[in-house]
Each structure stands twice: as C-alpha cells, then as structure tokens.
Amino acid sequence: MTSQERTVAVLGAGTMGSGIATVTVRAGYRTLIHDLDDARVARGVDTVRGFLAKSAKLGKLTEEQAAEASARVEGTTELKDLAGAGVVIEAIFEDLAAKRDLFGRLDDIVGKDTLFHTNTSTLSVTGIAAGSALPERVVGTHYCNPAPLMKLVEVADGRHTASWAHEATIEFLASVGKTTVVTKDRPGFIVNRFLIPWENSCIQALENGLGTKESIDAAVTGALGHPMGPFKLLDVVGLDIHQQVATRLYEQLRDPKFFPPPMVDRMVAAGDLGRKTGRGFYTYDDNRLFGS
C-alpha cells in the first residue's frame, strides 16, 4: 500500500473519535486525530495510548505491539495536515451544518479518491454528503460503541454514493477487523432503532424501582448474553450523547419511545455524564473511557 492508503484521518477526539482511532492504529494504520484545540487533541491521543497500554497489561497485545501502535497515532488542529489521508472518518457532534462544512473544507485538501466516512447514526448520510463537491465518495459508517471492543459497523450509502466507494469502504472495514452490516440511510439505522428505545426502557425501569442499576445490568448480561449491561454501556457512551441521539431520533420519528426519560435530563444537568466525568450511573476512579 502507498503511504496515503495507510493513513487515516479521524475528525473529532471525543469518545467515538478516540475509539475509532484506537481501532485503526491497532490495525496498522498511521492515524491523525483532528479537533478544534490542542487540549481536546491531547486527550484523544492520550485515550488511544492509554487503551493500548492497558491492552498490553492485560496480555491482549505485546508490549512491542502496543508501543508500535502508540507511535502510529498523532494529533493536529490543522486540517491541512490531513492532506495525505486515504480515508477520512468524521466523528464530531451530531450537527448537519458542521459535518457538511468539514467535508466541504476537506475537498480542496485531500485527494479526489480519498474516502469520506461519517459516523452519524441520526442524520442523513445524503444530507452530510451534500457538503462535499464529490458526494459519491461519502459513506455512512456507524461504529458500535465502544468502538475498540465492538466488532460491528453499520454501512449506509447516501443517495449519490458510488459503488467503488461502497466497496472500498467494506474492504477498509475488513482490514481493521470489523464485521459490517449494510443498512439504508434512515434515522437510527438498525442498531439505534432498537438500542435507544431499549436503553430508555431500562432507565424507566430503574426510575420505577423495578430493580437497581446493578441488578438490571446483571440480568441483561447474565440472561440476555450482552457483554455489558445498559447502565455500564450508557456510562461509556455518555449520558449527554444518549440524550442528543435520543432527542434527534424522536424529532425525526415522533415516536415517544425514543424520547429520553427525565432521569437523563437530571443527570446531564448535574454533570453526571458517565465515565468521562468520573460519575454517571456508577462512579469511577479511572475515568479513561475504556478502562475497567
């Protein structure tokens, strides 16, 4: 592969961005994390390197593999530094105008055959692609959270996505060890159409005293076979992110089961967002997003 084909740019250094960057560096890609300021970029790079170090400690990587992967991640606040990327993965906050603007600005920076991936799960891939002069290269790639631990990525083409871009996307995702499912460009795709109402029902069950957070998590992992209970998962995702995603889906679908329960609003107002703030449904001494 050329250096361009081996370079990935990740836009956004938050939970999803740093998680996706962890996936790509672990798979051997040089990865550039871009965000608006140095502090955010530094946190994103530190999250990636922290996850790799912990993987080595747990024996999932050798010390040498972890060190090599850590050396492949870099950070920048300058879009021009992304010029050599063969794949750009957008993982910023769910704002259509902001996503469109980023892709439009990148049109004159990266090559014409660079793939543009958007990690949205609530906004239209077609609408985001309209920000680029080459909408045929834009593909929706929704990584399940936490990205370093979950194998599944949903792939959704926009109205003008070209077959070459779709096929190249499937190949890229296979190269980073992901399993793909193809879905339509519809609000929530497959996963969040099911997940958000289910998480809301778990929160309502807690509010109504059906069980404790511990007992509900234990029931879900022990009986349903989920790798993580709903409240542990919500703490990893972030209560603010759940609130945003649920609200956007409700606005588009007008189905009450997508509307976040009152407990979510109270937790967000209190700053109890989950692992990233050290407290959500549970409390954490280690607030790294992918800690134990």
Query: What residues are annotated to the active site?
Result: 121, 142, 154, 192
Asked if the peptide bond before residue 261 counts as cis, ω within 30 degrees of 0, the response is no
Distance CA 264, CA 270 (A): 10
Residue ranges with strand state E in 97-185:
115-118, 138-143, 152-157, 179-183
Does residue 87 contact residue 117 with C-beta atoms inside 8 Å? yes
Does residue 127 contact residue 111 with C-beta atoms inside 8 Å? no
108 three-state secondary structure: coil
Distance CA 85, CA 259 (A): 38
32 three-state secondary structure: strand
CA-based nearest residue to 237, from 115, 144, 126, 121: 144
Distance CA 237, CA 135 (A): 29
What six digits make up the tokens of 250? 């409700």
In angstroms, the Cα distances linking 276 to 226, 238, 239, 283 are 22, 7, 10, 10
- 91: which residues sit within 8 A by CB, 6+ positions away? 10, 11, 12, 14, 16, 17, 20, 119
CA-based nearest residue to 257, from 179, 204, 191: 204
CA 46, 30, 138: angle at the middle one, nearest 5? 105
